[in-house]
Chains A and B, each alone.
Chain A
Amino acid sequence: MKNNIYDKYLVEEKMPTMWCPGCGNGIVLQSIIRAIDEMDLDPEKIVFVSGIGCSSRAVNYLKFDCMHTNHGRAIAFATGIKMANPELKVIVLTGDGDCASIGGNHLIHACRRNIDLTVICMNNSNYGMTGGQYSPTTPLNSFTKTSVYGSYEPPFDLCDLTKSAGATYVARCATYLPVQMKDIIKKALNHHGLSFVDCASDCPSLYGRLNRLGDAGEMMLRWKDRLVSVTQSQKMSEEELKDKVIWGEFVNKSDRMEYTDIYKENIRRAKEAAHE
């Protein structure tokens, strides 16, 4: 297969990927490269940063400048890259355990600063790489390797978390809707300020198996009844929304200044003060 979108952006020698059959990470990665292809971005101006985990292995397959960093510290490294060279488009590929638990502090502080990063979280509700332990987004009463009687910790809603921390673009999508996911990622890449995209995906070989949700195909079809768009959800009661996943844009505003812009402004002011 030659001259196609995959050859253009993916490293052929590293294929097939290390992900299990039916893993949602591949669909998210595919949506990202389709978004970049449609936007016709300069590959020299894009940097991918990732932490540790199944999702973070995505950077190994990309023909871009990539950085595979410490567990949870992807956003910290990305902040450094962006501050050193604000011309670059910095994309953080991270998982739910990586960005919400171990790197949770970095996530909320990046949102508070509103630095121009695009954080794409591949949320599969458990720690896949280490064997399926529960993560901060594991739904209540679901089974994982470390919650054999059902998880009794209430999960984080990552969109609510980033929204309240001050992110200026927050959206959620699912692997069942890859075309809509591509459109949301395009908007997130265009946004000036911190954009957070929560990509709800499946882990059929660990989370799906322990919760008896069937194979990858059955898990994919489960999304059909569970996904509700933001506009639909406004007409529904709280009881109806109980087991649903709301997808769409939650926040899209530009009322706050971006962090590198503030930094540049401060340097200009300091120089002016020094001349006087």
Chain B
Amino acid sequence: MKLKVVIDRKMCKGCGICVVLCPKKILKIDEEGKASVTERQECIGCRQCEFHCPDFAILMGDDDGQL
């Protein structure tokens, strides 16, 4: 099973680093100023967003969003 991106919205500060680094362009900053996933099924699990997140807000989870 491939792991996919999960965002902890409490921790996110909306810096936008994950948005520019995502190779599939499936992350965006929403109206609340936090990162959110638009099409989660497209995630390839490269973990670029996870390793580059300065606020420890991104981790990889399974299909249901469980870690």
| Chain A interface residues toward B at CB < 8 A | 1-4, 6, 10, 15-17, 19-27, 30-31, 175-176, 178-179, 204, 215-218, 220-221
CB-CB under 8 A for A215 and B16, given A2-B67, A4-B67, A15-B11: yes
B55 touches A26 (CB 8 A): yes
What residues of A have a CB within 8 angstroms of the CB of B6 in the complex? 1
Supplied contacts A4-B67, A17-B54, A204-B15, 7 more A-B pairs, CB within 8 Å: A6-B56, A21-B14, A22-B16, A30-B56, A175-B54, A179-B51, A218-B20
**Does any Cβ of A come within 8 Å of B26's Cβ?**
no
What residues of A have a CB within 8 angstroms of the CB of B16 in the complex? 22, 215-217
* Interface residues of B, count at CB 8 A: 20
B14 touches A16 (CB 8 A): no
Given the complex of chains A and B, what is the CA–CA distance between A114 and B18 in angstroms? 39
**Does any Cβ of A come within 8 Å of B25's Cβ?**
no
Given the complex of chains A and B, what is the CA–CA distance between A30 and B51 in angstroms? 8
Given the complex of chains A and B, what is the CA–CA distance between A24 and B15 in angstroms? 11
Chain A to chain B contacts (Cβ below 8 Å), 17 pairs: A1-B59, A2-B67, A15-B10, A15-B11, A17-B55, A21-B13, A21-B55, A22-B17, A24-B54, A27-B53, A30-B54, A30-B56, A178-B51, A216-B15, A216-B17, A217-B15, A217-B19
A220 touches B17 (CB 8 A): yes
Given the complex of chains A and B, what is the CA–CA distance between A204 and B14 in angstroms? 13
**Does any Cβ of A come within 8 Å of B42's Cβ?**
no
What residues of A have a CB within 8 angstroms of the CB of B17 in the complex? 22, 216-217, 220
